[in-house]
Structure 1
Amino acid sequence: MDMLYWMFPYLGLGLVVGFLAGLLGIGGGGIMVPVLMMIFSYQGFDSSQVVHLALGTSMAAIVFTAISSAYHHHRHGVVRWDVWQSMAIGLLLGTFSLSFAASYMPRTFLAVFFSVFMTYVAAQMFLNIKPKPSRTLPNSLGLGLTGFAIGGISALVAIGGGMLSVPFLTWCNVKVQHAIATSAALGVPIALAGGIGYAISGSGEQGLPEYALGYVYMPAVLLIASISVLTVPLGVRLSHRLPVKLLKKVFAVVLLMLAFKMLDIVF
């Protein structure tokens, strides 16, 4: 089938991802990776490369949604830039190094790791555990090391880090709106380092589809980004009005469904 046919799934994915990026401070990789795997499989891409392509493409697309989400949250004055500065270097190092490591990991391991991690995140969203009132953010070194860990895990599952950074910040008693906004800004260095890492690590791979830059499929990135940046502002506005607790539970159900679908595709 020609590329015109495949435009619509990518555009639809971009619409959903952009909205969720603004609403929950996430990059949308939890949705993008399994959906991209389905689309890539239907397009006839090499099955041994589908997982890596989905991970790399998701990371690259998150760059645009993260920048747009961070900008609109910044306009509301709720981004904790002091936290961002302390975590950014660790995020870059963790994401870049683990994105290279992921290129050497078998697709079954990556798919299982992704699905298990998403199930864990969904459980956390359902439980909605509250932190102790006395809990505070760690010092700059602690934030940097936390950033490295978040960046490394984000690279393996191709997310913008929001599924880790939002719970971490709220656990440290950062107000949820500030946690969501700061997480959106943290997604920029994660996605940038991850996208570059997957592009470089897949540059020598044989049999990649046309217009792929390493493990980054550029047509999908451009189509997803073109729509997602338009729906981010809607999600940002609603994040300040709607009950986030309920929305997280709905999102958790979606994550579980996609995690099981990803396993079904691989096995």
Structure 2
Amino acid sequence: MLTEAIILILAGSIVGILSGLLGIGGGLIIVPVLTFVLVHFHQLAFDQSILMAIGTSLASIVFTGGMSSFYHTKRNNMNWSTAGLYIPGVLLGSTIMAFVMPHLNITLIKHVFIAYTFLAAYEIFKAPIIKSVVQLPSVFLANIYGFTIASISTVIGIGGGTMFVPYFIYHKVNPRLAVGLASSLGIFIGLGASFGFIKNGLYASHFPQFSIGYIYLPGLILMTSSSLIFVRLATKWIHQISVLSLKKIFACLLFLIGLSMIFAG
């Protein structure tokens, strides 16, 4: 139990840094780590472990995204009227996908996501510093895009930051504001998906003790607690990094995520 707790706390600390600094929920760390914990320490079948890891990851994003959004709002890195354009589509996409996920070909979606990470990394890395007027789409198109990102994010177990941040930068949003927007939208991805994963797993059997549906409460509590500490620190660090450096960091992160997913098979 102590080893498991240490692993989960360390993972949560890294997630908090990623959430506050880059606007991502950290699911690309939580999912593999928690899958390993559930298989190794609780002898849970791999298929159930990965679903529970994804469900727990998305539930944790409600808290890390909320904390990150609070501090970004406090530091004027947030625009809730802009976020509001995307929230209905995000909620609908995440909720629906959590219910239909057991019937999806996750391998195909994974390959599409890998291709996207490389393309987004290239576009962000080569783009100049954004200084022009923000050019966002209509409410209808915003919700279509929000629905799409939320659907893909739910399958992978992430908060959507790796897709929302490049999207907002493409539409001429300052990278710091893009991070704040991505953090806020991650809250609603987590809320919709958590409802679906709890409902889906209520009647499943052989789950570890202290689980609610496909959400593993000890993992949620330990990782979230440690991540919230580092979210606050990271939202302070973001002002000490230039816009160009922040974009390069995010582009490199996307590239590494794409590589890791390829070698993960």
Relative distance call for 1:189 and 1:224 in structure 2 (3 A) is: same
- Quote the residue 2:121 is aligned against: 125
Change in Cα spacing, 1:77 to 1:13, as seen in structure 2 (3 Å) is same
Contact 1:51 1:110 in 2 (8 A): no
1:246 to 245, 248, 255: 248
Q: How many residues align?
A: 258
| Matches of 1:118 and 1:31, distance apart in 2 | 16
TM-score by length of 1: 0.88
Amino acid at match of 1:117: F
Between 161-170 and 115-124, report the one with greater CA deviation: 115-124
Q: Is the 8 A contact 2:120 2:251 kept in 1?
A: no
Contact 1:51 1:111 in 2 (8 A): no
Q: Which moved more, 1:49-58 or 1:32-41?
A: 32-41
Question: Superposition pairs for residues 1-267 of structure 1, below 5 Å?
Answer: 3-43=1-41, 44-105=43-104, 109-110=105-106, 113-114=109-110, 116-118=112-114, 120-128=116-124, 129-130=126-127, 136-242=135-241, 243-256=245-258, 258-260=260-262, 262-263=264-265
Q: How far off its partner does 1:253 sit?
A: 4.9
Structure-2 change in CA distance of 1:190 and 1:56 (3 Å): same
What amino acid sits opposite 2:39 in the alignment? Answer: S
**Once structures 1 and 2 are overlaid, which stretch shifts more, 125-134 or 235-244?**
125-134
Native 8 Å contact 2:121 2:255 kept in 1: no
* One-letter code aligned to 1:88: I
Task: State the AA in 2 paired with 1:234.
Answer: L
Q: 1 CA distance for matches of 2:258 and 2:38? A: 21
SS in structure 1 at match of 2:95:
helix
The answer to whether the 8 Å contact 1:37/1:262 transfers is no
Secondary structure in 1 matching 2:120: helix
The residue type paired with residue 121 of structure 2 is M
- Is this contact kept in 2: 1:31–1:255, CA < 8 A? no
Question: After superposition, what is the alpha-carbon deviation per residue over 1:113-171, rounded to whole angstroms, capped at 9, x for unaligned?
Answer: 33651453145224425399688211122212221111111111111111111111111
CA-based RMSD? 2.2
**8 Å CA contact 1:126, 1:252 repeated in 2:** no
Greater CA deviation, 62-71 or 237-246?
A: 237-246
> Which amino acid is 1:34 matched to?
P
Shift of 1:78: 1.8
Whole-angstrom distance in 1 between the partners of 2:6 and 2:252 = 24
| CA positional deviation for 1:74 | 0.4
Give the C-alpha shift of residue 188 in structure 1.
Answer: 0.7
Identity score, percent: 29
The alpha-carbon deviation at position 29 of structure 1 amounts to 1.1
Q: Normalising to structure 2: TM-score of the pair?
A: 0.89
Unaligned residue ranges in structure 1 (runs of 5+): none
CA–CA distance in 2 between the matches of 1:240 and 1:12?
25
Using a 3 Å threshold, how does the CA distance of structure 1 residues 48 and 35 change in structure 2: closer, same or farther? same
What letter matches 1:23 in structure 2? L
Partners of 1:231 and 1:125 in 2: CA distance: 25
Which ranges in structure 2 are unaligned for 5 or more consecutive residues? none
Q: Is the contact made by 1:103 and 1:198 (CA closer than 8 Å) also made in structure 2?
A: no
SS in 2 for 1:240: helix
Contact (CA 8 Å) 1:121, 1:163: kept in 2 or not? Answer: yes
The range that moved more, 113-122 or 215-224, is: 113-122
| Aligned CA distance change for structure 1 residues 148 and 233 (closer, same or farther; 3 Å) | same
